Amino acid sequence: MSGQGDDKAERMVERTLARGPADVLALVEAVRTAVPQAAESREGCVHALLHRLVKDGRVVVDGRSRDGLPLYRAAGTPAQGDMGASEPPVAQGKRAQAAARIASAVRDPAARGRIQADIAAHLGALDEAGHGQRFGAVRAVRHLLHRVDRGRPTVVLTATGGDTVRRILLHEGPWLLGATLLFFVLKLFIVPIYHIPSKSMLPTLQVDDRVAVFLPNIGGVPERWSIVTYDKGGTTYVKRLVGLPGEEIAILHGDVFIDGKLLVKPDEVREALRSHVGAWEFGKDTPRGWGQPVERAGGRSWTWRSGGFAAHPPSELGNSYVLRDGYARLRGERGERGGLVLELRRGPGGSAEGEVLTWTLEVGLQGIVLREERSKDEELLAPPEVLASRQAPPSAGPLELRLSYVDGVLRAACADWSWQGGRAAPDAALGLTVGERGPGSRVLDVAVDRDLHYAHLGTQGVPHGGHPARNAHRISKQGVFCMGDNTTDSRDSRYRDPGDIPVDDLIGRVRVRIWPVSRWGLVR
The conformation of residue 475, written as its DSSP 8-state character, comes to P
Q: Look at residue 308 in the predicted model and tell me its pLDDT.
A: 41
Residue 218 placed within a domain: yes
Residue 37 placed within a domain: yes
Q: Which is nearest to 451 in space by CA: 409, 396, 397, 499? A: 409
For the chain, what is the domain count?
3
Same-domain pairing of 289 and 404 = yes
Is residue 514 over pLDDT 60? yes
Which residues of 31-115 form beta strands (DSSP E)?
59-64, 70-74
CA–CA distance from 98 to each of 70, 118, 131, 436 (Å)? 19, 12, 16, 62
Residue 462 placed within a domain: no
Same-domain pairing of 134 and 38 = yes
Is residue 313 over pLDDT 70? no
CA distance 405 to 419: 12
Q: Pick the range with the lowest mean pLDDT from 91-95, 361-365, 506-510.
A: 91-95
DSSP per residue, 401-464 = EEEEEETTEEEEEETTEEEEEE----SSEEEEEEEEESTT-EEEEEEEEE-------SSSSS--
**AA letter at 500:** D
Top mean-pLDDT range of 180-194, 206-220, 300-314, 376-390 = 376-390
Q: Look at residue 352 in the predicted model and tell me its pLDDT.
A: 46
Q: Pick the range with the lowest mean pLDDT from 262-276, 366-380, 449-463.
A: 449-463
CATH number for the domain that contains residue 360: 2.60.120.200
Q: Which is nearest to 423 in space by CA: 321, 322, 346, 354? A: 346
Residue 170 placed within a domain: no
Q: Look at residue 293 in the predicted model and tell me its pLDDT.
A: 86
224, 242 contact by CB (below 8 A): yes
State mean pLDDT over 240-248: 95
Same-domain pairing of 209 and 140 = no
Q: Pick the range with the lowest mean pLDDT from 21-25, 89-93, 131-135, 309-313.
A: 309-313
3-state secondary structure of 190: helix
CA–CA distance from 315 to each of 22, 277, 309 (Å)? 83, 12, 11
Q: Look at residue 459 in the predicted model and tell me its pLDDT.
A: 83
Q: How far does CA 228 lie from the centroid of its chain?
A: 20
Which H helix or E strand runs over 481? Answer: strand 479-483
pLDDT tens per residue, range 366-411? 899 999 999 888 788 889 999 999 998 888 999 999 999 999 999 9
Three-class HEC string of 206-269: CCCCEEEEECCCCCCCCCCCCEEEEEECCEEEEEEEEECCCCEEEEECCEEEECCEECCCCHHH
**AA letter at 63:** G
Same-domain pairing of 136 and 36 = yes
Q: How many residues does the chain have?
A: 524
Neighbours of 129 (CB within 10 A): 9
- Give the residue, 258 or 211, on which the prediction is more confident: 258
Same-domain pairing of 206 and 298 = no
For residue 319, name the pLDDT band (cuts at 50, 70, 90). very low
Percent of the chain residues past pLDDT 70, beyond the cut: 87
> Pick from 117, 149, 165: which residue ends a domain?
165
pLDDT tens per residue, range 398-455? 999 999 999 999 999 999 999 999 998 888 888 899 999 988 899 999 999 999 888 8
State mean pLDDT over 45-63: 91
Residue 455 placed within a domain: no
Q: Look at residue 42 in the predicted model and tell me its pLDDT.
A: 85
Same-domain pairing of 148 and 206 = no
Same-domain pairing of 342 and 441 = yes
Same-domain pairing of 199 and 153 = no
Is residue 87 over pLDDT 70? no
Residues of the domain holding 503: 194-254+472-522
State mean pLDDT over 231-244: 88
Residue 178 placed within a domain: no
Same-domain pairing of 302 and 362 = yes
First to last CA, the chain: 50
CA distance 325 to 285: 28
Q: Look at residue 390 in the predicted model and tell me its pLDDT.
A: 94
Is residue 307 over pLDDT 80? no
Residue 205 placed within a domain: yes
Strand partners, 482: 241
Q: Pick the range with the lowest mean pLDDT from 46-55, 465-474, 490-499.
A: 465-474
Which residues of 253-406 form beta strands (DSSP E)?
255-258, 261-262, 275-281, 294-296, 299-305, 326-334, 339-347, 355-364, 367-376, 379-380, 385-390, 397-406
**DSSP percent split of the chain into helix, strand, coil, nearest 5:** 30, 35, 40
- Give the residue, 187 or 52, on which the prediction is more confident: 52
35, 134 contact by CB (below 8 A): no
Q: Is the peptide bond before 498 cis (omega within 30 degrees of 0)?
A: yes
Strands 193-195 and 429-437: unpaired
Is residue 279 over pLDDT 70? yes
The conformation of residue 313, written as its DSSP 8-state character, comes to -
- The pTM of this model reads 0.64
For residue 271, name the pLDDT band (cuts at 50, 70, 90). very high
Residue 464 placed within a domain: no
CATH number for the domain that contains residue 504: 2.10.109.10
Is residue 220 over pLDDT 80? no
33, 43 contact by CB (below 8 A): no
Is residue 323 over pLDDT 90? no
pLDDT tens per residue, range 121-168? 999 999 888 888 889 899 999 999 999 999 998 898 888 878 878 887
Q: Is the peptide bond before 203 cis (omega within 30 degrees of 0)?
A: yes
Same-domain pairing of 421 and 498 = no
Q: Look at residue 2 in the predicted model and tell me its pLDDT.
A: 66
382, 374 contact by CB (below 8 A): yes
Q: Look at residue 217 in the predicted model and tell me its pLDDT.
A: 54
Same-domain pairing of 278 and 347 = yes
Same-domain pairing of 428 and 484 = no
3-state secondary structure of 62: strand
State mean pLDDT over 9-26: 91
Is residue 475 over pLDDT 70? yes
